[in-house]
């Protein structure tokens, strides 16, 4: 039986389930000191003075540092030289730009002493005008004397794709509508906040970091400190969730090594939850101004989108790229003849914004899926029918995206089939009838039905796709070594943060080599043992690294067959491979086990001519020709309390297409997690600031993360259109749920409220907003 496609249980779980995971904060090095930040309480201010006298004398304090103590250090890497004024120093230099901005570091014998001393550092600020939103930052630009968050840059707005005049196809369309969509700012909330342990010994630097791409960090740390790569080892042990926020470079990654070098002792930093909410980069925070032209059948003739991305107080390279992905994916699964996209990154006095599960694609699916529903509403058509009218058809692949037809080609898909399957699973037609009856009955909750036919760009791998974010390349590496006992060690260049890649990689390797699943050990996350890799982002582990593992496995198998043929005195073509070993076709009694063949691989006298000792060792650097474009159709049914406005998700049905599924259990788990985040964005989560840039939601008391009981049981379906861009036919699925879910939920809420004249509602659709939209009903249930 094939391992690929089997619902194998996770290799990683036994340790995690008994509390034997090893996270960064579990690492306790002898003599380690703890560092903590003194963070800005102002959103925008000039630093007048920093008084450390009282704190320096406090118990356990070893040192307190400001930017003046690190004058020799470069700025945090990533941004290109053209935007030099935006390069972020490792601590605030003269000016603070958001609440939470690190101003000073306190180093003490333990974390409690460090925290106490940080409270006793007094900073005098001279407040500057605060621009805490896209709108206020752009408004300041209209005034030549208005505030510039980076005076040397002289602008708060960084145009990436300039706005063009509306195309004739839009101006001449029989019908037009426009809408501004606000994609609410979210905080990632991984169970494990940011943590790092740095130990700079005479032999070199060792860094344990909770991070999604240890090689990326190693490469940047070595150029930052000007040391050779063999003197820097970065280890990402177990990582307790990342959701994209652990792909960015934060000041502590550079300061912990710098202080360790200064003091000659290991340094640990580990955020509290409240610090993480303020300082780990946020996600979304976009405004999308959409204009669409269409005809009476619902056919979209032209789409024009201007995306404004809030990049926060310190633009991050990943954050600067989010809107590019939104722009590319703005047409979704639809054959839209004319698409015009503009993009402006906007600097504000808020926490920097960067990758967050989906990173730019949930914003695109939200704007286009809401737009399609608004067209249906305008024309009085079934939203499903408008989707069928506009779908790209299954025979049109590779399909050049109208937003960038030279560079972006959808690989494969069957969007009408996904919607057919969704409608079947939902019982769509019966639901429409049920809705009419329920909504006419005041004793029942209002019913809404929402669809989302989403598309995303994943499998980041084609050359050039990651280099712009400072990565060495976009390839991925895999090495497989067969040990003399016939077991295999698979070393992967990507390292996961909760996805279960070890299990999926072992399935791929097991099938391709023929070795038993339990005899395959997967390693990752340590630059000493996997010397080169790129990392985990853009749902690429399976499509790029899994493909590398398959290719390396094929090489191993070919060489193993040659050895077995030699030992069995048969022709390689006659050798049959299984988990038990090697047999000669027609004479199954004559066999060699994997251990026999693997042992021979280390004994040159046993090997056929041309193969040397250690031959069962293969390294592959895998380049893929294109991204993969997972897609799907999601359906959401909500019931809305007619008195309180509370939205209850009654059913949530998913049809995913990630091409070949490696492990349905894990793939479904990924979708469940992503959908949970998407529902949460649609109904609960919103990181907000007041007009002074003070965060209003920086603890889990006021930033709403749903509990399991707030979420529905999902009904899962699937179609499979394998991708031609890798040998597995597999597309990414790690972000799909987060991309597809928000519009399905909001479409359902707006559908339920359509009787009140509601055309759109920005996320999150809180009970209060819904109650207001219903005209503030009174009464009781």
Half-sphere exposure of 758 (CA within 13 A, CB side): 24
CA atoms of 192 and 189, how far apart (whole Å): 8
Query: x-or-dash pattern for ligand MCN, window 328-367, by CB under 6 A?
Result: -----------------------------x----------
| Stretch of 52-60, 115-123, 242-250, 403-411 contacting ligand MCN, by CB under 6 A | 242-250
CA atoms of 539 and 95, how far apart (whole Å): 37
CB 52 within 8 A of CB 64: yes
Residue 269 tokens, joined: 């930093």
- Residue 662: CB minimum distance to ligand MCN, A: 4
The alpha-helical segments, DSSP class H, found in 239-338 are 251-263, 273-279, 317-328
CB 771 within 8 A of CB 777: yes
Spacing of C-alpha 353 from chain mean position: 13
| Of residues 641-670, those binding ligand MCN (CB under 6 A) | 658-663, 666-667, 670
With residue 176 as reference, give the H or E element that holds it: strand 175-183
Q: Name which of 725 and 765 has its Cβ closer to ligand MCN.
A: 725
Intra-chain end-to-end CA distance of the chain, in Å: 55
Q: Is 681 in the site for ligand MCN (CB under 6 A)?
A: no
Q: How crowded is residue 400: how many other Cβ atoms within 10 Å of its Cβ? A: 13
Q: Name which of 500 and 695 has its Cβ closer to ligand MCN.
A: 500
| Stretch of 272-280, 299-307, 330-338, 535-543 contacting ligand MCN, by CB under 6 A | 535-543
| Of residues 84-123, those binding ligand MCN (CB under 6 A) | none
Q: Name which of 714 and 771 has its Cβ closer to ligand MCN.
A: 714
Query: x-or-dash pattern for ligand MCN, window 718-757, by CB under 6 A?
Result: ------------xxxxxx----------------------
Strand pairing category for 338-347 and 399-400: unpaired
Q: Name which of 31 and 625 has its Cβ closer to ligand MCN.
A: 625
- Phi/psi at 446 (5° precision): -65, 140
- Residue 28: CB minimum distance to ligand MCN, A: 25
Residue 410 tokens, joined: 């959808």
Nearest to 706 by CA among 740, 683, 686, 722: 683
| Of residues 256-315, those binding ligand MCN (CB under 6 A) | none
Q: Name which of 12 and 369 has its Cβ closer to ligand MCN.
A: 12
Q: Quick check: helix, strand or coil at residue 102?
A: strand
Q: Is 3 in the site for ligand MCN (CB under 6 A)?
A: no
Q: Name which of 293 and 360 has its Cβ closer to ligand MCN.
A: 360
Q: How crowded is residue 429: how many other Cβ atoms within 10 Å of its Cβ? A: 11
Q: Name which of 44 and 357 has its Cβ closer to ligand MCN.
A: 357
- The total number of residues shown for the chain amounts to 781
Q: Name which of 251 and 630 has its Cβ closer to ligand MCN.
A: 630
| Of residues 486-505, those binding ligand MCN (CB under 6 A) | 496-501, 504
Mind spelling out the 3-state secondary structure of 407-438?
Answer: CCEECCCCHHHHHHHHHHHHCHHHHHHHHHHH
Q: Is 541 in the site for ligand MCN (CB under 6 A)?
A: yes
Mind spelling out the 3-state secondary structure of 46-75?
Answer: EEEEEECHHHHCCCCEEEEECHHHHCCCCC
| Of residues 507-526, those binding ligand MCN (CB under 6 A) | none
CA atoms of 322 and 89, how far apart (whole Å): 22
Nearest to 566 by CA among 522, 529, 610, 527: 610
Strand pairing category for 33-39 and 267-270: parallel
Task: Determine the residue with CB nearest ligand MCN.
Answer: 734
Q: Which of 194, 537, 552, 568 binds ligand MCN (CB under 6 A)?
A: 537
| Stretch of 138-146, 201-209, 532-540, 558-566 contacting ligand MCN, by CB under 6 A | 532-540
Q: Is 8 in the site for ligand MCN (CB under 6 A)?
A: no
Q: Which of 99, 520, 542, 676 binds ligand MCN (CB under 6 A)?
A: 542
Q: Is 243 in the site for ligand MCN (CB under 6 A)?
A: yes
Strand pairing category for 647-657 and 714-718: parallel
Q: How crowded is residue 7: how many other Cβ atoms within 10 Å of its Cβ? A: 11
| Of residues 575-634, those binding ligand MCN (CB under 6 A) | none
- Residue 328: CB minimum distance to ligand MCN, A: 17
Q: Name which of 373 and 657 has its Cβ closer to ligand MCN.
A: 657
* Residue for token pair 């610090």: 275
Q: Is 38 in the site for ligand MCN (CB under 6 A)?
A: no
Q: Name which of 37 and 211 has its Cβ closer to ligand MCN.
A: 211
Q: Name which of 332 and 496 has its Cβ closer to ligand MCN.
A: 496
**What residue ranges bind ligand MCN (CB under 6 A)?**
190, 241-244, 357, 496-501, 504, 536-543, 658-663, 666-667, 670, 673, 730-735
């Amino acid at each position: 039986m094939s391992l690929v496609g089997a619902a194998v249980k996770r290799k990683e779980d036994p340790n995690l389930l008994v509390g034997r995971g090893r996270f960064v904060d579990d690492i306790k090095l002898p003599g380690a000191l703890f560092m903590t930040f003194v963070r800005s309480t102002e959103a925008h201010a000039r630093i007048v003075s920093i008084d450390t006298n009282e704190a320096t004398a406090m118990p356990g304090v070893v040192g307190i540092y400001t930017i003046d103590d690190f004058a020799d250090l470069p700025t945090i890497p990533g941004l290109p030289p053209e935007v030099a004024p935006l390069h972020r120093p490792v601590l605030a230099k003269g000016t603070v730009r958001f609440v939470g901005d690190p101003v000073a570091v306190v180093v003490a014998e333990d974390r409690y002493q460090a925290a106490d001393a940080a409270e006793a550092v007094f900073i005098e600020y001279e407040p500057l005008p605060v621009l805490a939103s896209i709108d206020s930052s752009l408004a300041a630009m209209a005034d030549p004397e208005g505030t510039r968050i980076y005076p040397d840059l002289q602008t708060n707005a960084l145009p990436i794709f300039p706005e063009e005049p509306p195309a004739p196809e839009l101006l001449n369309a029989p019908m037009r509508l426009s809408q501004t969509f606000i994609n609410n700012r979210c905080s990632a909330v991984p169970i494990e906040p940011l943590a790092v342990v740095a130990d700079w010994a005479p032999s070199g630097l060792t860094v344990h970091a909770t991070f999604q791409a240890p090689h990326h960090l190693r490469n940047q740390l070595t150029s930052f400190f000007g040391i050779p790569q063999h003197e820097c080892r970065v280890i990402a042990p177990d990582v307790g969730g990342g959701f994209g926020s652990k792909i960015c470079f934060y000041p502590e990654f550079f300061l912990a090594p710098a202080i360790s070098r200064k003091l000659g002792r290991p340094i640990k930093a580990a955020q509290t939850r409240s610090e993480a909410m303020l300082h780990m980069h946020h996600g979304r925070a976009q405004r999308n101004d959409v204009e669409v032209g269409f005809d009476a059948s619902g056919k979209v003739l032209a789409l024009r989108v201007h995306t404004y991305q809030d990049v926060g107080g310190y633009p991050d390279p990943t954050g600067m790229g989010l809107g590019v992905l939104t722009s590319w994916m703005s047409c979704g699964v639809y054959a839209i003849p004319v698409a015009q996209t503009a993009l402006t990154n906007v600097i504000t006095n808020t926490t920097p914004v960067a990758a967050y599960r989906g990173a730019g694609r949930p914003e695109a699916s939200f704007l286009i899926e809401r737009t399609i529903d608004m067209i249906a509403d305008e024309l009085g058509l079934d939203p499903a029918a408008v989707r069928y009218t506009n779908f790209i058809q299954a025979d049109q692949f590779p399909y050049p995206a109208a937003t960038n037809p030279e560079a972006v080609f959808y690989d494969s898909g069957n969007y009408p089939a996904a919607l057919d399957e969704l409608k079947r699973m939902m019982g769509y037609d019966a639901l429409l009838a049920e809705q009419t009856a329920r909504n006419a009955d005041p004793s029942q909750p209002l019913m809404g039905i929402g669809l989302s036919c989403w598309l995303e760009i994943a499998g980041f791998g084609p050359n050039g796709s990651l280099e712009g974010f400072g990565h060495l390349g976009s390839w991925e590496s895999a090495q497989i070594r067969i040990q003399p006992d016939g077991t295999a060690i698979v070393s992967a260049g990507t390292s996961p943060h909760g996805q279960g890649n070890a299990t999926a990689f072992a399935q791929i390797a097991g099938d391709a080599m023929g070795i038993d699943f339990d005899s395959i050990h997967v390693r990752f996350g340590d630059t000493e043992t996997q010397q080169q890799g790129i990392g985990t982002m853009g749902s690429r582990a399976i499509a790029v690294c899994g493909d590398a593992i398959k290719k390396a496995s094929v090489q191993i198998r070919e060489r193993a067959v040659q050895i077995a043929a030699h030992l069995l005195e048969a022709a390689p073509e006659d050798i049959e491979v299984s988990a038990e070993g090697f047999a000669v076709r027609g004479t199954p009694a004559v066999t060699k086990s994997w251990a026999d063949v693997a042992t021979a691989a280390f004994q040159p006298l046993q090997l056929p001519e041309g193969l040397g000792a250690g031959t069962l060792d293969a390294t592959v650097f895998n380049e893929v020709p294109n991204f993969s474009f997972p897609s799907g159709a999601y359906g959401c049914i909500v019931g809305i309390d007619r008195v309180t406005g509370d939205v209850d998700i009654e059913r949530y049905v998913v049809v995913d297409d990630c091409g070949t599924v490696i492990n349905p259990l894990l793939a479904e788990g990924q979708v469940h997690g992503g959908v949970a985040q998407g529902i949460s964005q649609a109904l609960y989560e919103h990181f907000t600031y007041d007009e002074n840039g003070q965060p209003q939601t920086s603890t889990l008391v006021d930033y709403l993360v749903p509990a399991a009981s707030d979420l529905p049981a999902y009904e899962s379906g699937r179609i499979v259109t394998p991708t031609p861009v890798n040998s597995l036919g597999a597309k990414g699925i790690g972000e799909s749920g987060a991309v597809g879910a928000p519009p399905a939920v909001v479409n359902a809420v707006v559908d339920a409220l359509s009787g009140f004249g509601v055309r759109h509602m920005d996320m999150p659709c809180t009970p209060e907003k819904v109650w207001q939209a219903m005209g503030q009903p009174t009464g009781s249930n």
